[in-house]
A and B are shown apart, each in its own frame.
Chain A
Amino acid sequence: MTVIDLVSYEDALATYDPVMGLEVHVELGTKTKMFCACATALGAAPNSQTCPVCLGLPGALPVVNAVGVESAVRIGLALNCEIATWCRFARKNYFYPDMPKNFQTSQYDEPIAFNGYLDVQLEDGEIFRVEIERAHMEEDTGKSTHVGGATGRIHGASYSLLDYNRAGIPLIEIVTKPITGAGAAPPRSPVPTSRNCAN
C-alpha cells in the first residue's frame, strides 16, 4: 500500500511556487436574454420572465442577442484580446433540472475573444500582467432552491423549486492563463477599478 506523505503548509510554500488560473463569469446587463426577448430584471416573480425558448420547450430555437455579442466584443477589446472574425456556439451536454434544454449553449473551440492580457496596478505601483486565455459567450441556467435536507444541495433535499427567470441570461466567461510570478513577494492588493466596463 502506498503511503502518501503530506507536506506541511510552510514546507509547501517554501518548495513550490503557487500557480493558479481564474475562470470569471460576468453577467451582462442586457435588457433581454442571450437567445430570446425575455426581460432580465432581477426580483421578478419566479418564472414570470420565461418563454418557449428559455424554457427549452420542444420546437423552440435560439436567436442570438446582438447587444450580447457587442458586449462580448467590448470585453474582449478591454482585455486586449484578438477578436474572432468568425466564431460559433457549441452545446455543453449535461443533465440538471435547472438547465431547460439539458445542454448549455456556450462556446468551445472557437471563442469570440482570445489571447489577451490585463495589466493590474498593485498598491506598490507595480504593474502585474494577467494573461487572458479567452473570453466566450454563454447562457446562465435557472435557479434551483433545494428545500429540506442538511446541505441545501439537491442530494437529500425533500423537494426543489425551480425558477427559470435566470435561464438564458447572457454570461461572458473569462479564462486566464496560469498566473505565476508572484514568487516570494508578500500578498498585495490591486488598486480598485470600475466593475462596470460591460453593459
Chain B
Amino acid sequence: MTDLTRLTAAETAARIAAGELTAVEVAEAHLARIEAVDEKVHAFLHVDREGALAQARAVDARREAGEELGPLAGVPLALKDIFTTEGVPTTVGSKILEGWIPPYDATVTRRLKDAGVVILGKTNMDEFAMGSSTENSAYGPTGNPWDLTRIPGGSGGGSSAAIASYQAPLAIGTDTGGSIRQPAAVTGTVGVKPTYGGVSRYGMVAFSSSLDQGGPCARTVLDAALLHEVIAGHDPLDSTSIDAPVPDVVEAARNGTVAGLRVGVISEFRGEGYQAGVMQRFDETVELLRELGAEVVELSCPSFTKALAAYYLIAPSECSSNLARFDAMRYGLRTGDDGTRSAEEVTSLTREAGFGDEVKRRIMLGTYALSSGYYDAYYGSAQKVRTLITQDFARAFEQVDVVISPTTPTTAFPIGERADDPMAMYLADLCTIPSNLAGNAAMSLPCGLAPEDGLPVGLQIIAPAMADDRLYRVGAAVEAAFLARWGHPILEEAPAL
C-alpha cells in the first residue's frame, strides 16, 4: 500500500479529486504519522484532530456531491502558530498567549479553509518569530528530522520539520528576516517568501510590520506554487496587501527553465563564516545553471554588508511597539493580580513572566532606538540603509533576471550551540535579510548535502518585487536537474525516524 504521507500535495489532491483517495484517509494517515513521530520531532504545538477530520469529511462530501474541488482540496497542512485560528489555540510560541483562543481567523487561515485544505494543527516557532533555531519557543525546541540533535531552523522550525518528517506535505511559515527560507534550507525543503504585500498579514501576529511576510513551505517547487496561489492576493483587511493580480506561479512551476536567463551571483554573499561544503554545493549549482543555458554574472551589492545592522534596529523597533498590546488586560496571561496590585504592576509582572529573553532583549533595544532624541540616529539611519539596499537590488536587477546565493552560511547547527550567543544566531540570516528589507521575493530549495556533515544545503533565488513567478520558473528547473542527477528527492536520504 502507498504510504499516503510520502505523496506530494499535487498528487494527493489529484487522487482525491479523481475519487481514488478520500480526504479522510489522507488526514488519518497524517494524524497517525504525527502520533508516531512528533514526540521525537516536536513540530506541533497543537494538533487539531477533530477540526482536521471535520474539514476532510466536508471535502469528501463536496466531491461526492459532484462539486468541483480546488487544486489543494483535501491536502493536509501544518500552520505556523502565528496565524489566528478561530476556536483553536494560537500562542506564537509564547507563554504570554498560553491558552488564548482567538475569536477570528487570519485571512490566510480563512483562504486555506475555503480552498478545502485540511489544517492538521499549529506548529512550533521561536517566540514571536524572533530567532533562527526554534529554541526560543516557550514550549521547547523542535528537532531537525535529519538529525534530531540539531536545529530545524527558525523561526518556522516547526513548519519545516513537519514537512521534512512527512507529518504534512504542506506548511505555512512567516518570514521577517529569513524564517521561511532558513528553515527550508537546513531541512532540505522548499520555502518561499513572497513579495511584501503578496500574502495578507491580517491575523498574522505582528513582529515587525514592515518586514513580516507569510508564505508557503513544501517538499516540491510545484507544491509550494499551488499553496502560494491559494494564500496570495489582495485582502481589503490588510492595507499593505498588493492590489494587483498574483503572478502565475503555478504555470511557472510547471514550466521550469533557465535557458537564456541572466543569473547574478553577489560577491558579498561569501567569505568568512561560510561553511566550505555550503560554498561547494553553491558553486556546483552555479555550474549547473550554466550547463542549463543560464548566463552567470558576478555582481557587487556593497550595502548588503550593512543589512544585518539595519535589520537589528528596524525589527526590534517595530516589535517594541507591536508587542505593547500584551498587557494582561484583555487576553492571555495575567500574573500577580491578587487584588492588591495596580494595573501597571500587573502588566509589568505579566510581561516579566510571559516574555522570554530574546523577546525582552528586542523590546528593550527597540524602545531605546525609538526613544525621543534617538529616533533619527537609529531607526532613521537604519531606514536609509534600507533604501541603499533596495537601490543595490534595483541596480542588480537591471543586469540580471534573478540573484542567487546560499540561503544560509552553514548547515543546521546543534541545538544549544548558539543559544547563548545572539550575534552568532543572527548570522544565520545574513543572506536572507536583504530581501526582507527590500520587500522583494525569494525562495530556498535544496541544492545538495554538505560533504563534511551530510546535511542539506539551501540555494536562495531572489527575484524583483512582483516577479514571484520567476522564482518558481528557475526553482522548478533547478529542482528537475538535481532530481535527474540524484535519481530521487533529497529528503529520501534523511534517516528514518
Check if A101 sits within 8 Å of B239, measured CB to CB: no
Check if A102 sits within 8 Å of B325, measured CB to CB: yes
- Chain A window 91-111, contacts with chain B (Cβ cutoff 8 Å), 1 for yes, 0 for no: 101010100111100000000
A-B contact count (CB 8 A): 73
- Which of A57, A59, A62, A160 is the one whose CB lies under 8 Å from B343? A160
How many chain-A residues does the 8 Å CB contact rule pick out? 23
Given contacts A58-B325, A59-B84, A102-B324, contact A52 B238 (CB under 8 A): no
**Residues of chain A contacted by B103 (CB below 8 angstroms):** 52, 57
Q: Chain B residue with minimal CB distance to A156?
A: B342
- From residue A181, how far is it (CB to closest CB) to chain B in Å? 32
Q: Chain A residue with minimal CB distance to B203?
A: A59
Given contacts A95-B347, A160-B343, contact A58 B205 (CB under 8 A): yes
**Residues of chain A contacted by B90 (CB below 8 angstroms):** 58
- From residue B446, how far is it (CB to closest CB) to chain A in Å? 32
- Which of A55, A63, A95, A160 is the one whose CB lies under 8 Å from B236? A63
Given contacts A59-B204, A95-B347, A100-B330, contact A52 B104 (CB under 8 A): yes
**Residues of chain A contacted by B326 (CB below 8 angstroms):** 58
Check if B325 sits within 8 Å of A56, measured CB to CB: yes
Q: Chain B residue with minimal CB distance to A36?
A: B237
**Residues of chain B contacted by A39 (CB below 8 angstroms):** none
* Residue A19 interfacial (CB < 8 Å): no
- Which of B104, B204, B239 is the one whose CB lies under 8 Å from A57? B104
In angstroms, Cα B342 to Cα A97, docked, is 11
**Residues of chain B contacted by A61 (CB below 8 angstroms):** 201-202, 206, 237-239
Check if A63 sits within 8 Å of B237, measured CB to CB: yes
In angstroms, Cα B320 to Cα A91, docked, is 12
Q: Chain A residue with minimal CB distance to B200?
A: A61
- Chain B window 203-232, contacts with chain A (Cβ cutoff 8 Å), 1 for yes, 0 for no: 111100000000000000000000000000
**Residues of chain B contacted by A102 (CB below 8 angstroms):** 324-325, 327
Within 8 A of A (CB), among B315-358: 320-321, 324-327, 329-331, 342-344, 347
In angstroms, Cα B321 to Cα A162, docked, is 22
**Residues of chain B contacted by A78 (CB below 8 angstroms):** none
* Residue B146 interfacial (CB < 8 Å): no
* Residue B449 interfacial (CB < 8 Å): no
Given contacts A57-B102, A58-B97, A59-B83, contact A97 B205 (CB under 8 A): no
**B residues touching A (Cβ–Cβ < 8 Å)?**
83-84, 90, 92, 97, 100, 102-104, 106, 201-206, 236-239, 320-321, 324-327, 329-331, 342-344, 347, 370
